[in-house]
């Protein structure tokens, strides 16, 4: 299986990158894994021009940045892992820009001709946060569910690692979450 991991953290070697690397090591034994670190790419936010809606068979975004290339990698993968730190109860701006660009993968939302290029695509969310999960990481999970619903994806799991303060101090809770995530993917 081709697994694409999207690191949405502004810190290339931070908590989320550390936890994601652990997951990638576990899963790469049986699967092909490719990581895209969003901050290494030029991904601009959606312009809201709706030009993409005229191209239902491709990511028809008019912007000439790395966003379309990443969207094509999402389409070519068998599974996508969105890995993000929790910023103000949701995604950081680097990941948010890419998520907004998913708009060009869906055409005719709410109409009978509604179509998503991601229909049925399995996706999962991996979140690291400095505090607890309860009353902290609920909005990011809800936003991810709505993204999956809008794009007609199959959300296979949402995994949150709480109390991540420094990459050195990430402990057994992260290992437990990552092993559960790898196990869920292996059973797909």
Q: Express each pLDDT in 47-65 by its tens digit.
A: 999 999 999 899 999 999 9
Where exactly are the structural domains of the chain?
Answer: 2-186
Question: What average pLDDT score do residues 153-170 get?
Answer: 92
In whole numbers, what is the pLDDT of the chain averaged over residues? 95
Distance from C-alpha of 117 to C-alpha of 115, rounded to nearest angstrom: 7
Pseudo-torsion of CA 149, 153, 155, 161, nearest 10°? -90
* Per-residue pLDDT tens digits for 99-143: 999 999 999 888 888 899 999 999 999 999 999 999 999 999 999
Which stretches of 28-169 are DSSP H helices?
Answer: 67-76, 93-101, 138-150
Q: Is the pLDDT of residue 154 over 80?
A: yes
pLDDT number for residue 188: 82
- 162: pLDDT strictly greater than 90: yes
Confidence of residue 89 (pLDDT cuts 50, 70, 90): very high
Question: Residue 187 has what pLDDT?
Answer: 87
Q: Give the pLDDT score at 90.
A: 97
Give the global pTM: 0.96
Report the CATH number of the 2-186 domain. 3.40.50.360
112 contacts 37 by C-beta, under 8 angstroms: no
């Amino acid at each position: 299986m081709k697994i694409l991991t999207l690191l949405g953290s502004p810190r290339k070697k931070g908590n989320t990158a550390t936890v994601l690397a652990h997951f990638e090591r576990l899963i790469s034994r049986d699967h092909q894994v490719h990581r895209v670190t969003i901050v290494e790419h030029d991904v601009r936010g959606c312009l809201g021009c709706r030009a993409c809606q005229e191209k239902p068979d491709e990511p028809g975004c008019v912007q000439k940045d790395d966003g379309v290339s990443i969207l094509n990698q999402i389409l070519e993968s068998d599974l996508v892992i969105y890995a993000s730190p929790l910023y103000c109860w949701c995604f950081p701006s680097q990941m948010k820009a890419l998520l907004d660009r998913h708009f060009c993968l869906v055409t005719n939302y709410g109409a009978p001709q509604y179509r998503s290029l991601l229909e049925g695509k399995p996706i999962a969310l991996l979140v690291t946060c400095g505090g607890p999960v309860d009353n902290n990481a609920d909005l990011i999970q809800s936003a991810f569910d709505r993204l999956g619903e809008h794009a007609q994806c199959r959300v296979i799991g949402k995994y949150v690692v709480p109390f991540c303060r420094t990459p050195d101090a990430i402990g057994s809770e992260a290992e437990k979450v990552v092993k559960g995530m790898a196990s869920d993917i292996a059973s797909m």
